[in-house]
Amino acid sequence: MFTTITNGNYGSLCVDVTGKLMISSASSSNLEALLNSADSALNGTIQFYFGYIVGDAGYLVYDQDGVGISNVIRLQGITALGLEDFTIGLTGILGGGG
């Protein structure tokens, strides 16, 4: 499932990703390669994977139940992400500062 984030209720995005997020240090050449890397990384403990495609966008991939990719969120214009950026970004989206 692919999700587009637009103005609306972001409450379901409030999760603690500490120890659950893997950020790729290399770019992917296409979506299939990124999803293959994400699927390999998502192991039940790691539930979130961030990667990016050169010339495209960043993608946050989520595994809700430990059996494979549950959701993919395309983040236009985002090519790098750190845990602190993720936390601040969601706080800002939710109107809590940051």
Name the one residue in this structure whose structure tokens are 């293959």.
Answer: 36
The pLDDT value given to residue 24: 87
The pLDDT value given to residue 86: 54
pLDDT along the chain (98 residues), means of 10: 45 61 88 94 90 89 89 84 56 42
The pLDDT value given to residue 67: 87
The pLDDT value given to residue 22: 87
The pLDDT value given to residue 23: 86
Name the one residue in this structure whose structure tokens are 């992400």.
Answer: 81
